[in-house]
Structure 1
């Protein structure tokens, strides 16, 4: 364990006032037990050495020396020595992340298997799972930029839209990074906190680079670029997996424009990384997002430091054990207090008598929630909102539904709507989102989810109305009664059910395609 002595300080320095007393204690004890000093006024000084018996083990270890060590070590431990900042995951992950995915046709190139876009979607799935509890937004862009989902802390909802992305959603060709930055700045203004824009792309439009740096002037937005692709490029495939061809019938190649990406990174002062097969790229993204968030908010954020005083409990306990010696008296009350202090060190939240005596159920639930023990947190929480949040994150939607149903807040109605959407109860979901917006008009997440629920309901109703009522063309019976069997033809009905499920699954993509098309026709206005 490396100690940076330049950062060494104490969290509770007033406890250090006990150390001089501990250091003086042996001298005070020796002075109080000095018989020569006490008898000097009654007996001549030259006779005292001959009248007093000096113990042979005068220099041996005595209880006062252990008490001195206990006081000094205990004071240092209580003062809280520290040299390392404490940045828990649940605090660092507060850094908002705006994800922008390039949907230009070149993202269908297969130089990264199965394709650049599919690899990027898989990587984003892993990223949002790691950032559980953090707020993430999603933008899709090509020749125009479109908001897919405002900042949300629901990874399942975000992943639904990520997996719906495809290169045919935006008809306008190009790579308009400037429009992406404008969208990201509007999102960040609503968050009122520093954030990071992550671009996943295979190139940039060199003709649009001029003036991009001015878009970031005075903004708390940081841009980082994750390049997707290889220098050799790859063949572009269509939705059916077939190679796309140009006018001459040759396979279309997806170019990886590394030079343009370097120019883009230089223009925006943006770090440039590349997609990897392991988690190094995810670590790289989180590192830059967290560092920017911490650097930009240091003036407002109180620093937290790791208290290393707990480690001194073990030598204190060892000294206490050495105090148990023949002929020595021990204050057992101090020993019990020391054992109690060690027992109260952070441990997994369990429902036992000791934790119940010192922590309320909501405090125990909060500890479990911050350490992502969501089932335990849901069991501990008494507050219905936090019980519902914990149950929702634990995928216990029955408990979450029961908890949120007790509340009349916009956030509770929002989560009720999310649960109803998961259960395909779109009427109830629409009602819940509508009620949330009545209570809180400025609620972007509820607005986006309401639009999604309405689109899903329309697609479901349309599929149900258009489903053919299949009847058997002909039922043939054997002439002999009792020997024949009637078998209705079920293959067409099964195909209809499969088509309905397919429509339901792909409806987010249809919704996005219609939305982007309407926005492009309206001049890019959301």
Structure 2
């Protein structure tokens, strides 16, 4: 009873081919009857006189064997299964938290079309490069907010990116330290050996607190990487302060990460992937086991080979 309850086909769509194959075999049997194709070119009265004497033995037909072979092949391709087997699986434990600046200065247009749009493009590139790493998203202005906790559902994180803009924040400000602390709490709950924080900002108003928060993350084994959002050099955009590259570099140094501009995001993604791969080889979680259904179609192959061998006999027609 347990066998019947668990029995199913892994690829049931192949069963749709059975009626077609049976119909084809029936049509071929009717078309190639006892008289073969000669019945179409020789008169029915003359054909018995031309047929060779078979010694009284009835002619042998391959059609039953052909139907059997086709049926067995189709059933094997459909993948009959009735048994599960557990197997070990490996899951990387890398985790990235993206910290996105939504302060008013991110509306500046010194980079086309504006800083926040270019930052969202960079976040989208990070999501593309995440692979099997879990990704979380934190935004900040005067306060920090978690948009998504750590998740491997990158599509959901990407779907939440378009509405993110400075005008959705309840209060204006530019305090990075609360966002770094929030990112640290997300990573602390993930028990990851490859935690990375990527800050996308054009600057922050609390350097002492931000440097201290970056240092705390580094002490926890989490690297703080910084992507400067703004034009090349010290560009003063309308309604914004100039991009202070030295301060951003100092933040990355305090956090044990690297600083890059928008053009260096692909290289940063490569470094993050390399770090995740190294951590996966050294401290991959090996306690994960996945149960999968065994494909029983292999047991039909010996009978299929026997049927194919019978079809190779001489004198079927």
> TM-score, structure 2 length as denominator?
0.55
Summarize the Cα distance change of 1:92–1:300 in structure 2 as closer, same or farther, 3 Å threshold.
Answer: closer
Summarize the Cα distance change of 1:124–1:214 in structure 2 as closer, same or farther, 3 Å threshold.
Answer: closer
Find the partner of 2:243 among 253, 256, 272: 256
Where structure 2 has 5 or more consecutive residues not aligned to the other structure, the ranges are 1-89, 287-296, 300-317
Report the CA distance between 1:132 and its aligned residue.
Answer: 4.6
1:201 aligns with 2:189: no
1:292 aligns with 2:268: no
Report the CA distance between 1:112 and its aligned residue.
Answer: 1.1
Report the CA distance between 1:133 and its aligned residue.
Answer: 4.5
Relative contact order (alpha carbons < 8 A, sep ≥ 6): 1 or 2 greater? 2
How far, CA to CA, are the matches of 1:253 and 1:197 in structure 2?
25
Report the CA distance between 1:115 and its aligned residue.
Answer: 0.5
Q: Is the 8 Å Cα contact of residues 177 and 213 (structure 2) preserved in structure 1?
A: yes
Partner residue in 2 for 1:178: 177
How far, CA to CA, are the matches of 1:259 and 1:293 in structure 2?
28
| Matching of residues 240-319 of structure 1 within 5 Å | 252-276=239-263, 281-282=265-266, 284-296=267-279, 299-301=282-284
Q: Is the 8 Å Cα contact of residues 108 and 254 (structure 1) preserved in structure 2?
A: no
SS at match of 2:180: helix
Q: Is the 8 Å Cα contact of residues 116 and 165 (structure 2) preserved in structure 1?
A: yes
Considering fraction of residues, name the structure with more helix: 1
Partner residue in 2 for 1:233: 235
Summarize the Cα distance change of 1:269–1:217 in structure 2 as closer, same or farther, 3 Å threshold.
Answer: closer
Summarize the Cα distance change of 1:172–1:127 in structure 2 as closer, same or farther, 3 Å threshold.
Answer: same
How far, CA to CA, are the matches of 2:111 and 2:234 in structure 1?
11
Q: Is the 8 Å Cα contact of residues 115 and 229 (structure 2) preserved in structure 1?
A: yes
How far, CA to CA, are the matches of 1:133 and 1:287 in structure 2?
14
Q: Is the 8 Å Cα contact of residues 180 and 210 (structure 2) preserved in structure 1?
A: no
Summarize the Cα distance change of 1:116–1:299 in structure 2 as closer, same or farther, 3 Å threshold.
Answer: same
How far, CA to CA, are the matches of 1:214 and 1:137 in structure 2?
20
SS at match of 2:158: helix
SS at match of 2:203: coil
List structure 1 runs of 4+ shifted beyond 6 angstroms.
Answer: none
Partner residue in 2 for 1:155: 154
SS at match of 1:165: coil
Report the CA distance between 1:183 and its aligned residue.
Answer: 1.1
1:185-211 deviation digits (Å, cap 9, x = unpaired): 221122211321110011233343452
Q: Is the 8 Å Cα contact of residues 107 and 254 (structure 1) preserved in structure 2?
A: no
Report the CA distance between 1:295 and its aligned residue.
Answer: 4.7
Q: Is the 8 Å Cα contact of residues 135 and 152 (structure 2) preserved in structure 1?
A: yes
Q: Is the 8 Å Cα contact of residues 142 and 175 (structure 2) preserved in structure 1?
A: yes
SS at match of 1:203: coil
Summarize the Cα distance change of 1:202–1:156 in structure 2 as closer, same or farther, 3 Å threshold.
Answer: same
Summarize the Cα distance change of 1:209–1:253 in structure 2 as closer, same or farther, 3 Å threshold.
Answer: closer
Q: Is the 8 Å Cα contact of residues 99 and 199 (structure 1) preserved in structure 2?
A: yes
Partner residue in 2 for 1:146: 145
Q: Is the 8 Å Cα contact of residues 98 and 138 (structure 2) preserved in structure 1?
A: yes
> TM-score, structure 1 length as denominator?
0.34
SS at match of 1:271: strand
How far, CA to CA, are the matches of 2:102 and 2:277 in structure 1?
31
SS at match of 1:127: helix
SS at match of 2:186: helix
How far, CA to CA, are the matches of 1:268 and 1:130 in structure 2?
22
Report the CA distance between 1:219 and its aligned residue.
Answer: 1.2
Summarize the Cα distance change of 1:274–1:140 in structure 2 as closer, same or farther, 3 Å threshold.
Answer: same
Q: How many residue pairs are counted as aligned between the two chains?
A: 200
How far, CA to CA, are the matches of 1:119 and 1:217 in structure 2?
27
Summarize the Cα distance change of 1:357–1:281 in structure 2 as closer, same or farther, 3 Å threshold.
Answer: farther
Alpha-carbon RMSD = 3.2
How far, CA to CA, are the matches of 2:209 and 2:219 in structure 1?
21
